[in-house]
Amino acid sequence: MDIEQFVEDCLIANKESDAQTAVSDVLAKAVSTPNKVLEAIGEPSKAGLRVFLSSPELTIFAATWTPQMNLMPHDHLMWASIGIYTGREDNIFWRRTPGGIKAFGADALFQKDTALLAEDALHSVTNPLLRFTGGIHIYGGDFFGTTRSQWNPETLEEEPSDGSVIRGIFERENQRLGLNGDMSPSA
Ligand SMILES: [Fe+2]
C-alpha cells in the first residue's frame, strides 16, 4: 500500500457529489487487504494517531487503540468513516435527548470492516481485545481544528473537545500502560 497514493485517491473521491460514499469506497478497498496496510504503517504498539492528511476538507489518520482501551462518547460535527485493518473496534451509538445523551445502537467492527457515520453521529469506542486495534479514520473536514463535544463516561456531562483533548487522552493511555507517550513523528 502506498499511503501517498491512498491520500491522493481519497482527495479525488472527496470531490464526488456523495463524497463520503466515494471516499469510503477507497477506504474499504484499502482495508480489504489489511496485510498491505500493516506492511505500510506497521503493527500498532501504542495508542496513537498517525496523521496522513490534515486539511480543511479532509482529515485522514491511523488510530491505534491499546488492549481494552475506551474512548468516551463524542461527536465529530462532520461525516466520519472508519476502516479496521487489525483487531476489533466496538462502537456504541448515542443520540441527544431532552434529558441528555442516550445509547441506542451498537456495531462491532472487525478487520476489513468499514463504518460510515453521519455528520450528527455520536459514538463511544472500545477495543474489547487483549491486543491492539488499528483503524484508518477519515473525516469530511478539519478534525483537529474543530471544537466539538465529548461526554463524561460516568455522568454523561457534556464537555468541550478538540484535537488536542483527543491527543491528551491517547497520551494518558500510553502513560497508564507504561508505554512511550510519543505518538509518532507526524502526530
Ligand atoms: Fe470518533
Q: Parse the chain into domains and list their residue ranges.
A: 3-176
Contact yes or no for 80/137 (Cβ under 8 A): yes
CA–centroid distance for 34 within its chain = 16
Distance between Cα 75 and ligand 1 center (Å): 6
Q: Is residue 186 very low, low, confident or very high in pLDDT (cuts 50, 70, 90)?
A: very low
Contact yes or no for 71/124 (Cβ under 8 A): yes
Distance between Cα 8 and ligand 1 center (Å): 23
Q: Is residue 184 very low, low, confident or very high in pLDDT (cuts 50, 70, 90)?
A: low
pLDDT in tens, 23-69: 999 999 999 999 999 999 999 999 999 999 999 999 999 999 999 99
Domain 3-176: CATH class, spelled out: mainly beta
CA–CA distance, 44 with 64 (Å, rounded to integer): 6
Contact yes or no for 102/94 (Cβ under 8 A): yes
Q: Is the pLDDT of residue 183 over 60?
A: no
Contact yes or no for 89/36 (Cβ under 8 A): no
Phi, psi of 115 (to 5 degrees): -135, 140
Distance between Cα 31 and ligand 1 center (Å): 18
Distance between Cα 121 and ligand 1 center (Å): 9
Distance between Cα 139 and ligand 1 center (Å): 9
What residues are paired with 147 via a beta bridge?
A: none
Distance between Cα 178 and ligand 1 center (Å): 24
C-alpha cell at 38: 500493516
